[in-house]
């Protein structure tokens, strides 16, 4: 009887297995790291982590479709949310393979793998969150996992200082978020997203301002972006690649879940606040990269501009359908960013690359990698024929239809500035080679990176399918 009950329970709750598996891997790898030591775990964890992520990915594809609108107090499970988790785990597998491929990178240590699963667990918790309680827990798991990853770096004291500053500021913004949530609770006596019905009362308005500010801090929207500049400048390239692609995409997806609650209530009153955040981010993200010589600071400021451009959709949206266009833009941007960081990691195998001046003569020394970097930068600013060009055009159509001329003007200025700062930064690659750039010839050909641009161009024909998928997710 007990066996039959357990079997029936397993059948009914099979769609939860991927979440349990990934969360359990976080704890399992941490315990194994303590028991078997750093040397043995350094040999075991690279293959074991890829195996665990692959099993989780297959389990999500197998059991995800079994989820039929299952809602609890803290979590919600649907087929479309399982699809988002499969995308996350697929990206996790690719990221782990990349980390294993670049073993010489200074970040790689056996402690990276349990912390990486901590990051993935936090995102899966946030995706399934049906309450502010579970959402805050997921965000804090991410913050502490990221902080420990930054503290692991033994080469630079400045990075550890940046990690401590990040966790302090993050704690303050979490307190701000919780204060906003407490105002919701005093008014509605619940924390579930679907039970909170916002109105025009002072408690709803003030609570929403604090909640939105706390969430936008996590993604690095201006004026809450200073922590991201410090972390990007000093962190290792694989970690920055994760933050600039996977975390940015899913954090905007998580923000969209809260935004759905705003739209269901009196969402129009928050359009001005989001418009200010969006314009500020686009101006900072369009002007500041022009003056950056450090590559990672350049990417950090450019990332602020991209988020500001995406936020313009939220500022003008009165329903959830336009949000799919914003996420499709981030999805295609993430592919271009991955190509850029892969090319950068290949270059770092030959020599240390910190500033754009270090790329002098790259086209002459290593033409393939030079084109990889150049095409990546052009794709990241959404120029044709890459897929995110269509996503950017779609966002402009939404802005024009909304009639918000402030956002339209700011978006046009940002788009022009982004092309200018990319052209200015890439000029070094066409300069004469120097003695310092001799390592580029031994860095690798990078033909695999070039091949990634074929799907980037072909995705332009599948753009409508991407938007359709994301629209179905928000339709629930």
- pLDDT grade, residue 441 (50/70/90)? very low
8 A C-beta contact, residue 49 and residue 96 = yes
Q: Looking at the domain assignment, is residue 117 inside a domain? A: no
- In terms of pLDDT, which residue wins out, 348 or 294? 294
pLDDT, one tens digit per residue, over 51-75 is: 888 888 887 777 666 555 677 777 7
The answer to whether the peptide bond before residue 223 is cis (omega within 30 degrees of 0) is yes
- In terms of pLDDT, which residue wins out, 100 or 280? 280
Q: Looking at the domain assignment, is residue 108 inside a domain? A: no
- In terms of pLDDT, which residue wins out, 266 or 40? 40
Closest among 264, 165, 139 to 208, alpha carbons compared: 264
User: What pLDDT does 467 receive?
Assistant: 53
- In terms of pLDDT, which residue wins out, 21 or 294? 294
Q: Looking at the domain assignment, is residue 222 inside a domain? A: yes
**From the DSSP assignment, how many helices (H) and strands (E) are in the chain?**
20, 2
Question: Which DSSP category does 432 fall into?
Answer: P
Asked if residue 451 has pLDDT above 70, the reply is no
- pLDDT grade, residue 229 (50/70/90)? confident
User: What pLDDT does 9 receive?
Assistant: 43
Question: Which DSSP category does 243 fall into?
Answer: I
- pLDDT grade, residue 80 (50/70/90)? confident
How far is Cα 185 from Cα 181, in angstroms, rounded to an integer?
6
Closest among 337, 232, 219 to 278, alpha carbons compared: 219
User: What pLDDT does 64 receive?
Assistant: 62
Q: Find all residues with CB under 8 Å of 201, minimum gap 6, and list them.
A: 187
Contacts 24+ apart (CB under 8 A), 35-43: 38/109, 38/110, 38/111, 41/110, 41/113, 42/109, 42/110
8 A C-beta contact, residue 169 and residue 227 = yes
- pLDDT grade, residue 92 (50/70/90)? confident
Q: Which domain holds residue 227?
A: 129-475
- In terms of pLDDT, which residue wins out, 247 or 107? 247
| Lowest mean per-residue pLDDT among 2-11, 66-75, 184-193, 408-417 | 2-11
Share of the chain above pLDDT 70, in %: 80
- In terms of pLDDT, which residue wins out, 435 or 184? 184
- Averaged over 318-343, what is the pLDDT? 80
- In terms of pLDDT, which residue wins out, 276 or 160? 276
- Averaged over 229-236, what is the pLDDT? 82
8 A C-beta contact, residue 81 and residue 128 = yes
Asked if residue 432 has pLDDT above 70, the reply is no
| Lowest mean per-residue pLDDT among 42-56, 123-137, 329-343, 353-367 | 353-367
- Pseudo-torsion of CA 369, 415, 212, 71, nearest 10°? -60
Asked if residue 411 has pLDDT above 60, the reply is yes
- Averaged over 138-151, what is the pLDDT? 85
Q: What tokens does 304 get? A: 């602020």
Q: Looking at the domain assignment, is residue 51 inside a domain? A: no
Type and span of the H or E element at 71: strand 70-71
User: What pLDDT does 67 receive?
Assistant: 54
| Lowest mean per-residue pLDDT among 103-107, 407-411, 424-428 | 103-107
Q: Looking at the domain assignment, is residue 174 inside a domain? A: yes
φ/ψ (deg, to 5) at 71: -125, 135
Question: Which DSSP category does 70 fall into?
Answer: E
Q: Looking at the domain assignment, is residue 21 inside a domain? A: no
| Number of structural domains the chain divides into | 1
User: What pLDDT does 2 receive?
Assistant: 44
Q: Looking at the domain assignment, is residue 393 inside a domain? A: yes
Q: Looking at the domain assignment, is residue 4 inside a domain? A: no
CA angle 89, 221, 317 (to 5 degrees): 85
| Mean per-residue pLDDT of the chain | 77
User: What pLDDT does 4 receive?
Assistant: 45
């Amino acid at each position: 009887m007990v066996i039959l009950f357990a079997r029936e329970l397993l059948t009914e709750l099979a769609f939860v297995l991927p979440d349990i598996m990934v969360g359990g891997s976080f704890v399992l790898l941490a315990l194994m790291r303590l028991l078997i030591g750093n040397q043995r775990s350094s040999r075991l964890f690279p293959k074991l982590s890829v195996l665990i992520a692959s099993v989780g990915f297959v389990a999500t594809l197998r059991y995800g479709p079994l989820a039929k609108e299952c809602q609890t107090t803290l979590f919600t499970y649907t087929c479309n949310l399982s699809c988002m988790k499969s995308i996350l785990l697929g990206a996790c597998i690719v990221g782990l393979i990349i980390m294993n491929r670049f073993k010489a990178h200074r970040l790689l240590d056996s402690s990276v793998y349990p912390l990486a699963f901590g990051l993935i667990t936090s995102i899966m918790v946030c995706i399934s969150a049906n309450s502010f309680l579970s959402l805050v827990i997921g965000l804090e798991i991410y913050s502490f996992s990221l902080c420990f990853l930054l503290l692991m770096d033994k080469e630079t004291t400045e990075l550890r200082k940046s990690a401590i500053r990040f966790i302090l500021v993050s704690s303050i913004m979490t307190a701000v978020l919780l204060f906003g949530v407490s105002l919701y609770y005093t008014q509605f006596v619940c924390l579930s997203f679907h039970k909170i019905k916002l109105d025009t009362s002072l408690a709803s308005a003030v609570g929403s301002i604090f909640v939105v500010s706390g969430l936008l801090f996590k993604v690095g929207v201006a004026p809450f972006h200073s922590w991201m500049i410090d972390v990007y400048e000093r962190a290792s390239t694989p970690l920055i690649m994760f933050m600039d692609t996977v975390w940015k995409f899913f954090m905007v997806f998580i923000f969209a879940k809260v935004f759905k609650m705003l739209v269901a209530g009196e969402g129009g009153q928050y359009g001005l606040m989001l418009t200010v955040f969006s314009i500020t981010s686009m101006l900072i993200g369009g002007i500041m990269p022009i003056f950056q010589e450090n590559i990672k600071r350049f990417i950090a400021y450019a990332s602020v501009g991209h988020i500001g451009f995406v936020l313009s959709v939220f500022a003008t949206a009165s329903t959830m359908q336009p949000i799919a266009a914003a996420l499709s833009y981030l999805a295609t941007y993430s592919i271009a960013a991955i190509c850029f960081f892969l090319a950068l990691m290949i270059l770092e195998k030959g020599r240390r690359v910190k500033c754009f001046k270090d790329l002098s003569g790259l086209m002459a020394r290593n033409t393939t990698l030079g084109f990889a970097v150049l095409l990546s930068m052009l794709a990241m600013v959404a120029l044709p024929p890459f897929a995110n060009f269509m996503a950017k055009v779609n966002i402009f159509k939404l802005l024009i239809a909304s009639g918000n001329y402030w956002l339209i003007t700011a978006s046009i200025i940002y788009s022009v500035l982004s092309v200018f700062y990319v052209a200015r930064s890439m000029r070094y690659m066409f300069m004469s080679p120097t003695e310092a750039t001799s390592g580029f010839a031994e860095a690798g050909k990078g033909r695999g990176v070039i091949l990634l641009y074929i799907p980037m161009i072909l995705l332009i024909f599948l753009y409508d399918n991407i938007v359709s998928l994301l629209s179905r997710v928000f339709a629930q």
